[in-house]
Amino acid sequence: MTTTSDRSVIECRVIVIHPVSRQLLVPSLDGVFRPARVSIPRGTRPAREVCTALKDRWGAAVVILDFPLFDENRSACAIAELIGAEIPPSFSLIRLEQLPLNELSGQERAHLENLLEDRVNPGPLRIGWLDEARAWVQHATGRKHRAETGIEQYNAGRGFALIRFAMEDGHSYWLKATGNPNQHECGLTARLCELAPDCLPALVSIRREWNAWVSKDAGIPLCDTASPVILEFATCSLGFLQQKTMDEVDVLLAAGASDQRTRTLRMCIDRIIDYLIDAMGRQSSLKSAPLTRARLLELGSILRDVCLRVEALGIPDTLLHNDLNRANILFDGERCVIADWSEAGVGNPFLSFERLCRLSAGNPRELRAIYSKVWLEHLDPSAIDEVYRLMPLLAIYAYLYGRGDWINHTSTVSLPFESCARSLARHMDRAAQSPVLLETLCR
């Protein structure tokens, strides 16, 4: 994917489809037919940024249908559908064959033709889908949508969609659809809402053929507020939800949650250490010295000891949230819920709490006191104290492990992943040198 000279932004071509004529809308530029082009900031949600840019610059309200990714040597490409039939003054209608050949790759043009001819699978990737989605939301909620101004899109493409619908009475709802590799999120979310409805955004409706669901807006993300009180609410919600899943491990695994149980993590230590030894040997950067083979083997031994100590504590496996960040913690003034369970797993509950603590700008002692109180009904205080001392190292290792699917295919992992793995290995090395950890292991 090529970028502009400013490395902080990405240039994106936008193919806009008129929903009635199925022709393309392009800016009127001296008779030259070229797709609209926008520059979007890196690290943001592309669908949201493209929609905003088209509205601000050309007055065109659109919904993104797809981001076809075929050629990394070309600029990004978005395919969008105009909301409504009225053509913005700054655009002209053209047929696909009028678009210069060099504006699209062969694969992009074929993909666009399939969209125009409805040769795509049912779901959030076809012309007219938004109208069906709007009708579904209105029927499921019993509320009327606020026309064109009540749509805010956050994600699109490859079967994924995330759209916020604002209703005329002031309520808001989210429609989310997922494709591979996150198809499991729909069923998993539904099950979690059954187990602990107060800990997730309220589920309104599910549409299986789209692998999509509608949820009620659950408040302001933690990233939009600095209040530490919300983290305390989140700690209670996380602990309560995890306790509700203690007897659901097999169900959650069957629903697509990743297996991060401590024994599973322990059984993969040797292969991961072997991979890290090879990865350190391929390091070219001089910013940090690579960890030696001897140190990595020692690190593997420490990890094994930590896993065995954690297993001996008898802490029940529960639900894990492996993508706890400030955007996924929502607060409406009364309750705090946790959203986005695409990276859900099963394992020691304190793994997720360790990640939650890292969101605290202050001292996590208050959060530990709250989380400990949640678990005192099931665990001995000494076990809680010990797992807190063991968890910083294990949490980093579990993050590297992820879903574990890469371990059997280490020869095909990407260079960015390898660089990240080396960085995580250094973090593990520092955590393994903690006097608190070493003292615990010597007891």
Distance CA 299, CA 394 (A): 11
Cα Rg of the chain (Å, integer): 25
What is the CATH classification number for the domain harbouring 322? 3.90.1200.10
Tens digit of each residue's pLDDT (9 = 90 or more) over 341-394? 999 999 999 999 999 998 887 778 899 999 999 999 999 999 999 999 999 999
Q: Are 208 and 225 in a shared domain?
A: no
Domain extent for 323: 220-442
N-to-C CA span, the chain: 53
Evaluate whether residue 122 is within a structural domain. Answer: no
CA angle, 182 then 184 then 185, to 5°: 75
What is the CATH classification number for the domain harbouring 63? 3.90.79.10
User: Residue 1 has what pLDDT?
Assistant: 41
Q: Are 431 and 299 in a shared domain?
A: yes
Distance CA 297, CA 106 (A): 49
Our count of domains for the chain comes to 3
Q: Are 227 and 359 in a shared domain?
A: yes
Residue for token digits 């896993």? 307
Q: Are 161 and 236 in a shared domain?
A: no
Per-residue pLDDT of the chain (443 residues; tens, 9 = 90+): 444 456 688 899 999 999 999 999 998 777 778 899 999 998 889 999 999 999 999 999 999 999 988 777 678 999 999 998 899 998 999 999 999 999 999 999 999 999 999 998 777 889 999 999 999 999 999 999 997 678 999 999 888 999 999 999 999 999 999 998 899 999 999 999 999 999 999 999 999 999 999 999 999 998 766 678 888 999 999 999 999 999 999 999 999 999 999 999 999 999 999 999 999 999 998 888 999 999 999 999 999 999 999 999 999 999 999 999 989 999 998 899 999 999 999 999 999 999 999 888 777 889 999 999 999 999 999 999 999 999 999 999 999 999 999 999 998 999 999 999 999 999 999 999 999 999 999 98
Tens digit of each residue's pLDDT (9 = 90 or more) over 109-145? 999 999 999 998 777 889 999 999 999 999 999 999 9
Q: Are 320 and 388 in a shared domain?
A: yes
Distance CA 113, CA 118 (A): 8
